[in-house]
Chains A and B, each alone.
Chain A
Amino acid sequence: MRPDAVDGRRVVLGVGNLDRGDDAAGRFVARRLREAQLDDVEIIEKGGEATQLLAALEAASAAFIVDACASGVEAGALRRFDVAAQPLPSKAFALSSHGLGLAETIELARALGRLPPVCVVYAIEGESFETGAPLSPKVAAAITGVVEKLRAEIVTVAKQGEERDA
């Protein structure tokens, strides 16, 4: 399916609930990247409701989505999924208390032709999702590393875009 009009927006989408322990990891990464003031990158934080995530991805040329997951690996572990190439393994992202989780939202965007041509999910393994809890020490310790890796990828994607345009 042909993607809808793409306007070149580059977005970082931090997904999660700030009051549910490690679920907030994506939001904290987004906040650190906002402080870094990257050129031409829109930093968005969302709770995870599907239609809001779809709206955030609309007309973007590149999207970097950061979310917590629970797949049974060690807490704080970072995994990168190129979801423009293939679907996200949905079981690890089924923590949404709403109807559609992140994996389904990405598939909905793909079905509607709204998935950005570059779309990457950075998944941080969480261990505690308790109401009102802070980030667990292992996840808190992982945030800086995630920010650096993501920042490097954003810069690389931007350079590739510039080279294509030149």
Chain B
Amino acid sequence: MAVRTIKVDYLARVEGEGALRVVIRDGGVASAELKIFEPPRFFEAFLRGRAFSEAPDIVARICGICPVAYQMSAVQAIEDALGVDVGAPLRALRRLIYCGEWIESHTLHVYMLHAPDFLGYEGAVEMARDHGDAVRRGLALKKAGNAIISLLGGREIHPINVRVGGFYRTPRRCELQPLVEELKRARDAALETVRWAARFDFPDRERDYEFVALRHERDYPFYEGRIVSTSGLNIAPAEYDAHFEETQVEHSTALHAHMKNGGAYLVGPLARYNLNFDRLSRLAKDAAREAGLGPVCANPYRSIIVRAVEVLYACDEALRLIDAYEEPERPFVDVTARAGVGYGATEAPRGLLYHRYEITTDGMIKDARIVPPTSQNQPSIEEDLRRFIGGWLELPEADLRHRCEQTVRNHDPCISCATHFLRLEVEHAS
């Protein structure tokens, strides 16, 4: 019996620390494990015994790339527990700060982490020597996302202006205007990004995923909606625990999530796009079609184009939100403590982010549950490896290892978030 093991001890170009181990036995992939060894983070336990008002600032610390997502799911869930509705203008501002996070997070992944895989470079530095104009475009685009977060969040990383009930301070209309010109340039750069990514050479690999994402009655989802799936699931965030479960696996400090009656599923840009194509703006839909994407894309290697389409959408949507912005009467609505359980689900750049909080009568957090996108995607990432790399087993070791890494990076795993990190180990068993 022939056994080969391919190991990547320290997976590069992902957020956090992890490894990959693939065992190849008798010419087939016997097992594939995404090994996450970043130490557990214990955020859910930190939250217990803290005041509900502290949650947005605590959870922002879970991730330096997507702090807004954690803040948004937290405030939504806590407001649900406390019976608070912040009203349309504050919801629109939350949507706007989320646009900023999608722009900066997706652009980082598209240009710095994922594009080098397609253009044949070790990393962004090597790619920049030959593709300087593209990298400059990516940096300018990311800056536009950072500008939104700085303005609405008070600073670029770990924003400090988000609170339960709204914001500590909301901007005047005139303060948003300087963003308009920058966002128009960013929208052009985003359109060019879609066209650039569409010219890459993509492996011909597809899979029948169970996609899970939010769906809203009108909007492409960031901030709110029902949880829907390819096979017809359609539930409120409050019903998440009844349909999804997390289990421990030996090779990962991150939990693995499954559907209780279905198995592995996929969240993230592909899931959102496939379940919400009709909710994209005309500009984003046209760019997707021009890039050769139909309303459904089941090739995860093409997720780089889908991310670019979502960046274009986020620029477009940010401009729409700024144009329609009405200054709220007050930056926040009053919130009174009461006992209750609340649920929140929003779309982090990497996918569905579920929070649940139990609050006591005196406003303390009794229990917290946080299910990040990467926990939900780990089983599907491992399944991608098992299904996709079979055709590449004859490649030289270094090339095969690269294909494995690329396959993981399709889903932009954020290991820091999920540990609740990455190394690659491919074993050819014999």
Chain A residues within 8 Å of B129, by CB? 111
Q: Pick the contact of A50 from B12, B112, B136, B156 — CB < 8 Å?
A: B112
Stretch at the interface among B120-128, B178-186, B341-349: B120-128
B residues near A1, Cβ cutoff 8 Å:
132
Residues on the A chain within 8 Å of B139, using CB: 51, 54-55, 112
Inter-subunit contact A99/B125 (CB<8 Å) = no
B215 to nearest A CB, angstroms? 32
Can you list, as one digit per residue, whether each of A44-74 has a CB less than 8 Å from chain B (1) or not (0)?
0001011110110000000000000000000
Give min CB distance, A17 to chain B, whole Å: 10
The A/B interface has a contact count, at CB < 8 Å, of 55
Is the CB of A100 closer than 8 A to any CB of chain B?
yes
Q: 1/0 per position for B8-29, CB-CB distance to A under 8 A?
A: 0000111111000000000000
State whether the Cβ of A88 lies closer than 8 Å to any Cβ in chain B: no
Candidate in A51, A52, A55, A98 with the most chain B CB atoms within 10 angstroms: A51
Q: Does A97 lie within 8 Å of B16, measured CB to CB?
A: yes
Contact digits for B66-79, partner A, Cβ 8 Å, 1 yes 0 no = 00000000000000
Please, which residues of chain B bring their CB within 8 A of the CB of A42?
none
* Chain A residues within 8 Å of B132, by CB: 1, 111-113
With a 10 A CB-CB cut-off, give which of A1, A98, A108 has the most chain B CB atoms. Answer: A108
B64 near A99 with CB under 8 A, answer no
> A98 with B15: in contact, given A104-B125, A108-B128, A112-B135 (CB under 8 Å)?
yes
CB neighbours of A107 from chain B (8 A) = 125
Distance in Å: Cβ of B193 to nearest Cβ of chain A: 15
1/0 per position for A86-116, CB-CB distance to B under 8 A? 0000000000011110001001100111000
Instruction: Count residues of B near A (Cβ-Cβ below 8 Å).
Output: 25
B112 touches A49 (CB 8 A): no
In the bound assembly, the distance between CA atoms of A110 and B324 in angstroms comes to: 42
How far, in Å, is A3 (CB) from chain B's closest CB? 12
Beta-carbon contact of A51 and B416 below 8 Å: no
Alpha-carbon distance A54/B156, docked complex (angstroms): 14
Pair B112/A112 contact, Cβ less than 8 Å? no
Number of chain A residues close to chain B: CB under 8 A: 18
**Chain A contacts of B403 at CB under 8 A?**
none
Measured between beta carbons, the chain B residues less than 8 angstroms from A51 are: 108, 112, 139, 142-143, 146
- A55–B139 Cα distance when bound, in Å, is 8
Give Cα A111 to B136, complex, Å.
Answer: 10
Complex CA–CA separation, A49 to B129 (angstroms): 20
Contact with A along B91-135 (1 / 0, CB 8 A): 000000000000000001000110000000001110011001001
Q: How far is the CA of A112 from the CA of B108 in the complex (A)?
A: 16
Whether A112 contacts B136 in the complex (CB less than 8 A), given A99-B13, A99-B112, comes out as: yes
B residues engaging A (CB < 8 A)? 12-17, 64, 108, 112-113, 123-125, 128-129, 132, 135-136, 139, 142-143, 146, 156-157, 416
User: What are 7 residue pairs bridging A and B, where the CB atoms are less than 8 Å apart in the complex?
Assistant: A51-B142, A55-B143, A97-B64, A99-B12, A99-B13, A100-B112, A112-B139
